[in-house]
Amino acid sequence: MEMPIPDEGIIARKERIVQRLQSVIPHDAVIHDPAETRAYECDALTAYRCPPLCAVLPSTTEEVAAVLRVCFEERVPVVPRGSGTSLAGGALPTADAVILGVSRLNQVIETNYDDRYIRVQTGRTNLSVTGAVEADGFFYAPDPSSQLACAIAGNIGMNSGGAHCLKYGVTTNNLMGVRMVTMEGEILDIGGTYVDAGGMDLLGVICGSEGQLGVVTEATLRILPKPEGALPVLIGYDSNEVAGECVSDIIKSGILPVAIEFMDRPCIEATEAFAKAGYPMCEALLIIEVEGSPAEIREQLDKIKAIALRHNPVEFREARDADQAARIWLGRKSAFGAMGQINDYMCLDGTIPVSELPYVLRRIGEMSKEYGLGVGNVFHAGDGNMHPLILYNANKPGDLEKCEAFGADILRLCVEVGGCLTGEHGVGIEKRDLMTAQFAEADLEAQMAVKDVFDPRWLLNPAKVFPLASSEQRRIAAE
Partner 1 sequence: MTPLTEQDLAEAIAMSSGPLSIQGGGTRPIGKPVTGTLLETKGLDGITLYEPGSLTLVVQSGTPVTKVEEALAAEGQRLAFEPMDHRVLLGTTGEPTMGGIAAANVSGPRRIQVGAARDFMLGVRFVDGMGNIVKNGGRVMKNVTGYDLVKLMAGSYGTLGVLSEVSFKVLPVAERQLTLTLHGQNTKEAVASISKAMGSPFEVTGAAHLGGTTHLRIEGTEASTAYRCERLVSLLSGEIVVNQDQSAQTELWRGIRNVQPLAGFDTVWRVSMTPSRAPDFLEMLQREHEIEVLMDWAGGLLWIGSKADPQPLHEKLQREIYNYGGGHVTLVKAALKDRTRLSVFQPEPRAIAALTNGLRARFDPKGILNPGLMS
DSSP-derived 3-state class of residue 109 = strand
Nearer to partner 1 by C-beta: 78 or 420?
A: 420
Pick from partner 1, ligand FAD, none: which does 458 bind, CB < 5 to 8 A by kind? Answer: none
Nearer to ligand FAD, 292 or 340 (CB): 340
| Length of the chain as a residue count | 479
Measuring CA to CA, which residue among 131, 127, 125, 126 is closest to residue 111? 131
Of 241 and 315, the one with the shorter C-beta distance to partner 1 is 241
Tell me the residue type at 199.
Answer: G
Give the residue with the Cβ less far from partner 1, 101 or 208.
208
Residue 153's binding partner among ligand FAD, partner 1, none (Cβ under 5 to 8 angstroms by kind) is ligand FAD
Q: Which does 74 bind (CB under 5 to 8 A by kind): partner 1, ligand FAD, none?
A: none
* Least CB distance to ligand FAD at residue 172 (A): 12
By beta-carbon proximity to ligand FAD, the closer residue of 124 and 317 is 124
Which does residue 220 bind out of ligand FAD, partner 1, none, counting CB within 5 to 8 angstroms by kind?
none
Partner that binds at residue 121, options partner 1, ligand FAD, none, CB closer than 5 to 8 Å by kind: none
Kindly report the backbone phi and psi dihedral angles of residue 52, in degrees, each rounded to the nearest multiple of 5, phi listed first.
-80, 170
Least distance CB 309 / partner 1 (angstroms): 19
Q: How far is the CB of 246 from ligand FAD (least distance, A)?
A: 23
Evaluate whether 459 touches 478 at the Cβ level (below 8 Å). Answer: yes
- DSSP character at residue 354: G
The phi and psi torsions of 418 (rounded to 5 degrees) equal: 100, 10
Torsion (CA) 388, 389, 393, 397 in degrees, nearest 10: 30
Shortest Cβ 359–partner 1 spacing (Å): 14
Residue 290 pairs with which residues in a beta bridge? 231
Task: Write down the least CB distance from residue 147 to partner 1, Å.
Answer: 17
Contact status, residue 465 vs residue 428, Cβ threshold 8 Å: yes
Tell me which of partner 1, ligand FAD, none is bound by residue 405, counting a contact when its beta carbon lies within the kind-specific cut-off of 5 to 8 angstroms: none
Helices (H) and strands (E) in the chain, counts: 19, 18
Residue 278, contacted partner among ligand FAD, partner 1, none, CB below 5-8 A by kind: none
Instruction: For the CB of residue 88, give the shortest distance to partner 1 in the complex, in Å.
Output: 9
- With both helix axes pointing from N to C terminus, report the angle between 357-371 and 240-252 in degrees, rounded to the nearest 10: 150
CA-to-CA dists, residue 266 to 339, 368, 391, 407, angstroms: 9, 12, 11, 17
For 191, other C-beta atoms within 10 Å of its C-beta total 22
CB of 26 to partner 1, least distance (A): 27
From the list partner 1, ligand FAD, none, which binds 471 (C-beta under 5 to 8 Å, kind-based)? none
Backbone dihedral region of 372: left (phi > 0), alpha (psi from -120 to 50 degrees) or beta?
left
Looking at the Cβ atoms of 145 and 248, the one nearer to ligand FAD is: 145
Q: How far apart are CA 293 and CA 298, in angstroms?
A: 8
Whole-angstrom Cα distance, residue 329 to residue 443?
40
Q: Which residue in the shown chain puts its C-beta closest to ligand FAD?
A: 154
Task: Between 161 and 236, name the residue whose CB sits nearer to partner 1.
Answer: 161
Closer of 68 and 375 to ligand FAD (Cβ)? 68
Q: Which has the closest alpha carbon to 371: 330, 403, 346, 339? A: 403
For residue 129, the minimal CB distance to ligand FAD (Å) is 12
Least distance between ligand FAD and beta carbon 99 (Å): 9
The phi and psi torsions of 360 (rounded to 5 degrees) equal -65, -40
The site partner of 102 among partner 1, ligand FAD, none (C-beta below 5 to 8 Å per kind) is ligand FAD
> Which of partner 1, ligand FAD, none does residue 450 bind (CB under 5 to 8 Å by kind)?
partner 1
Lateral strand order in the sheet of 98-101: 30-31, 54-56, 98-101, 78-81
CB nearer to ligand FAD: pick between 328 and 429: 429
85 binds, among partner 1, ligand FAD, none (CB under 5 to 8 A by kind): ligand FAD
Nearest to 439 by CA among 471, 478, 407: 471
Least distance (Å) between residue 61 CB and ligand FAD: 10
Instruction: Say which amino acid occupies 102.
Output: V
What residues form DSSP beta bridges with 179? 189, 218
Cβ nearer to ligand FAD, comparing 201 with 318: 201
Query: For residues 377 and 375, what is the distance between their CA atoms, to the nearest angstrom?
Result: 7
- In angstroms, give the least distance from the CB of 130 to partner 1: 15
Could you list the residues that contact ligand FAD (CB under 6 A)?
43-44, 79-87, 90-91, 102, 122, 144-146, 150-151, 153-155, 157-158, 160-162, 210-211, 215-216, 336, 424-426, 461
Which amino acid is it at 377? N
User: In this complex, which beta carbon is closest to partner 1, that of residue 36 or of residue 228?
Assistant: 228
In degrees rounded to 5, what are phi and psi of residue 252? -65, -30
